[in-house]
Structure 1
């Protein structure tokens, strides 16, 4: 695996997926269900119709953005487990910005574009600032970032829930939801005509992945981020402040997570609600990033795989009388088989194993 080319690794991933489906089918048959129907429904739920493809791409869009956010930190040797919380804060910043500025800005297409732009900027700033907190604690108080980021996930959800329930919910509503965004604040469906997916959102995610890849691999600052995370002594010798780089890494990671929150609020919700009910994109993104070997560009196909599996799994849950535990088990088996070769490759690279290792 250490010496495998990109094409060979792709072929291994395809073979791993097929093998996992074969074993999963055997498990489904052993439990008394029709394996052919199960696999057919999994595939149809992901790509069987235009609405299913739209849902797959919607989930993939969110996983690309949150996966890139995780990859930024992991690539620089910092474990940001708080992408979910930064995603929540970013989306909340977007909602507050749009709702408070909508009455004072002109309506129509131009006003909608301005509101979405300002809301996205607020999300990027909010997500980055929230991620900077555990970065500062790690850099200057030697706090474990895994623990602090996990705790900040729950703090973000709790505080945002309180603010929505206490101050932003319209009178007479029982659920903690904000008012809906103005109808001109939305991303057009264009291709699929879906009310909760837009190719513009997918385009934003793809641009973010490319931009982060170029930043991490083609700029001196990105090189310093990676070097300070994995070779702190060498970075310090060359004049790089490792503590400052930790804070910068977390901030950049949180900015991408905040952008994911903005896309979620504008493209999918059209308002903001109880974050405790949100999909766990920030946690799923950890597996996406690891499958992609923390490469921002490789996050894209990894996110498409996870998005397709999510869409197919949900479709099975709606259409077949199959226990959800069985669906989750087969989907998890596919993820395990696809991820295992890359995990071996990452381990060999880190431990200096392989035929050419010295």
Structure 2
């Protein structure tokens, strides 16, 4: 109901009667969303004005405030901030730093390409993980195996041919790991050193007396008659692959000697095919990687003077067959697994003897040098 009110006019000192006034509780008005009635500048209640100190907050749940609008800076000064329920904490802009993982500190330095966070014992720090960066972990395997009954250790790639390794981890699964580059120098598979020369129409030779002539052992002190073509051959019956063949033939100075020779191979010791020809003596000739051939031989082509002669002939090759690699335990990231393997242990070359290589037939171990 409208009411009249007496009020003191401080300017005149007189009491005056106000116009009819209505209490706010008696006005039929629409309150704001926050339930606050408001008035305009003429004293009339109106809708649409909110004091600046009041912000609109939409409360959707009784136990929380899930939606806040336009909060410039939010600081939680508490020991623990927990996100309950199935919701996720998400930062969509500005980024954020994680200084701990499971209560352990994270190093501040940035990782390089291919690195991962690795526990150092005191913190999580970027590091290169063994076997990472796209490399097969097998390149770090240390192989241990028997060669002629002696335990040997090799680092992959093993001294063998381009092939693949069958790896058995402890759960029985198989992994094929290819390797293509032998990491070890070639080893001598056969040596036939001889000395021949003409002296007053005769022939003489020096130790050792056992030489190979036309693929057969010759127990005489002579290698060949004056005009017979010398042939030195090696039977590599255990060979499966040959990574590289290097041939060296040195001549005996002053009495002739081989000037050029030919390198041949055969699978049956009957049909011989040419691998390389017109090879000069007194130098190392290297043949590109070859597939398996059982027999190899050097045949003289031209001689220097009166006699065919050679101080030594050597067939040097990187030859091996890695048949199986069995890991003792399943490899783990950051570890170097140990493994065992088996290779072809020896090759009977059929070559001659030297002061260090004993026995007719020239039994030479596949691996007599290690790096």
Q: TM-score, normalising length from structure 2?
A: 0.18
Q: TM-score, normalising length from structure 1?
A: 0.18
Higher RCO by CA contacts (8 Å cutoff, separation 6 or greater) = 1
